[in-house]
Chain A
């Protein structure tokens, strides 16, 4: 036997101290909990709530369509209901549900004590829960959006949707996207930097790989939808014509941006589910996954190819044949990685001996349904066939096969599989079988007939249809199937009610004899000590691991600094680097999230002046929450065991916060890249509103040059401030910040003034709108970096910033330089491009 990092017996007070540090808040304070075991369960529970709500909406639709020319739901109600059903399922259920599962599972699977930014998880959760409920309530007041979940303009712009329904969608969803991105940053940094020592990338559980790629796809995919929702909201509020054809905008710009997000979105939902399956199948078959490397490669390939297929949602828009061919081939190619995974699971089942418990049943149901959905997916990738079935019930059937089959079934498998880690007892095998049977039969009875309806000519999104069309019996059948699924879900809820007992100190334990670390004995602090890992299925390969971990023989068996801690490891080979002290429960975080939600609600209902109050409150609460999160290096390095002595503080590229800032910059950069695309796209469709055609002069070059000069100067000053900080020349640092803060704003002012003086006004044309939009994006960034710089200044004045405790300054500087870079590229875009194109 190898020697353990820490000797036994452990000091008596060590465990008590660990428990004290990780003690969850009690009473009303329970809402301030940030620990992943709490937030994860709140988060999953809320996602399930939205699944139920959107499911009820689906039932309403099925009742309306059960008979031809039915009048259970009127036209307006039906249009709101299908819009809300799709929107809630995609944005308030699917993405949050998989993020929620990750918040709960990832730290345990990697034997970390928590995710690296627990308060960010809490913020993302509360913003989503409160904002999502506001959004849902719009339906109860009859002001829900009714433009369909992909909200195509011009239907959804101000002329054709004058009410506030579309604003609910744009602001509500825009806001929830921000929550999703916060979650993705958390997950990306969590997977890369908080793993058990020795859990190198090639020993990473497949689920963690899936979530890493998931996070990457959100980071590059969601910016497109954030930008296009912003553009449409600005078009609605201020009449900047991004999508109005008469003024040089183009409705297809929305479709490109939306689907550049929207198709990856499908894989964003599917990859985590595939990750579940790759964990469940090996356990249920009691053998390691066959073809681990191929499965990981398949996940990575999906992540890339998924960004090359968005145009297959636009085959019927009349785009040129050549691009149709390319996107058709790409859409087929994306099915190959899924095939690889399916065969890896089959091979694993064949290698072992599958135990047919409820998680296995849902997994097998997933395989059958998802395979069929994949086959119809290949069919709709064939362009002429898509011309027929696009926007019909055939497509409705297809995407429910891939989404319910590909995500909901694995999620229920995951619930039955992992609930023993969270509950004092597992869910019922008997009720689970009933649940599965009703769901599987109900699902197929509901959705299989929809293929036929579509082929028989029934378009989607119709609230009624004539009796003579011959679609009646198929619809009635589908509605009967929906009733079966409802019964199934009720059985599941009954099972939860009877058997789900979370938040206990004990859990049901490793009931499936799984091999991965989330099955270690767990408390609020995760595992008692953090094991070192030498294989992909450590619990199988090291039979005594669980006992040794619980006894405290491995790393960090206590809470040596008296705070919540976890070990930060290197991204590839998972070598311990430093001990991260994490913040605990926090009111400001929760209040910040609630204020943000109220701020967006007020914007939606056009209480612009009043919205300033929650807006400022949100900023204030965020600052209050962050104030405690750069704890400094006051604690000497800690021996976590086995001679590993870790510093308690890190700055620069080794720091987890530096990584998060880099990821954030990738997000902001992607938003900006989408704007560059929008600029060039609008030029290709409407060169007639560009300066060369309109004769409107471009601003004199002195303006952008002045702007660029100011930007460059600000970066130099901030960088010099950084040098000064290294020498602890505090007054110089503060002076530098003060000098730098106004410069980007002045630069933006110079740019906008130059444009304004030529007579260019944003509502005039698509060109004008996109030029001012570049300024608006830059303006947002300028405000953010200014607030961050002033925050840094305040910390300096309070003595919380010095030559070693400088993460705040470094991260601000990082974003600052990026903002300057984006400003310079933006200037080149709006001043050099038209001169070149002209």
Chain B
């Protein structure tokens, strides 16, 4: 129940945001974070050398993806939380939490939204 509440709150918070592709993050900084954390071990990510992971979903065309992890609306705020606290949002996920700062999460999201 508590989890549902979190999800709802996040979803509501997202409603007031500008469209996804207009995030303020620095996509290039996000790209180097993705490379440094080797997100490509699990995900196929266009634009990242060697990111051909097949553990999780491919992030090709992520900007146009409707749901994150098949359950969460794809909004910048949700995404920023997802990359930091995925297990709290979807307890069964294999995706671990990552210790990104707010700024870093914003940058990572910015890069992912460049993937059309």
Contact = CB atoms under 8 A, between A and B. Distances in A.
Interface of A: 67-69, 71, 464, 466-467
A466 B49 CA distance: 8
| CB-CB nearest 9 A-B residue pairs | A69-B50, A69-B49, A467-B49, A68-B49, A71-B52, A67-B49, A467-B50, A68-B50, A464-B50
Interface in B26-41: 35
Contacts of B52: 71
Interface string B44-83: 0000011010000000000000000000000000000000
8 contacts: A68-B49, A68-B50, A69-B49, A71-B52, A464-B50, A466-B50, A467-B35, A467-B50
B33 to A, nearest CB: 14
Contacts of A466: 49-50
A69 B51 CA distance: 8
Interface residues of B, number: 4
Contacts of A71: 52
Nearest to B40: A69
Nearest to A68: B49
Nearest to A468: B35
A466 B50 CA distance: 8
A426 B89 CA distance: 77
Given A67-B49, A464-B50, A466-B50, 9 more contacts: A68-B49, A68-B50, A69-B49, A69-B50, A71-B52, A466-B49, A467-B35, A467-B49, A467-B50
A467 B32 CA distance: 12
Nearest to B35: A467
Contacts of A464: 50
A464 B52 CA distance: 13
A709 B102 CA distance: 93
A564 B67 CA distance: 85
A667 to B, nearest CB: 50
Contacts of B49: 67-69, 466-467
Contacts of A67: 49
A96 B52 CA distance: 43
A467 B40 CA distance: 13
Contacts of B50: 68-69, 464, 466-467
A467 B52 CA distance: 14
B19 to A, nearest CB: 32
B52 to A, nearest CB: 6
A68 B52 CA distance: 13
Contacts of A68: 49-50
B80 to A, nearest CB: 26
A71 B40 CA distance: 14
B104 to A, nearest CB: 19
A214 B50 CA distance: 47
A466 to B, nearest CB: 7
Nearest to A67: B49
A73 to B, nearest CB: 13
A69 B47 CA distance: 12
A68 B35 CA distance: 13
A391 B51 CA distance: 28
Contacts of A467: 35, 49-50
A69 B49 CA distance: 6
A732 B49 CA distance: 81
A71 B49 CA distance: 10
Contacts of B35: 467
Contacts of A69: 49-50
A71 B50 CA distance: 8
A368 to B, nearest CB: 36
Nearest to B50: A69
Nearest to B51: A69
A68 B49 CA distance: 7
A467 B35 CA distance: 10
A593 B86 CA distance: 68
B15 to A, nearest CB: 39
Nearest to A69: B50
A68 B40 CA distance: 14
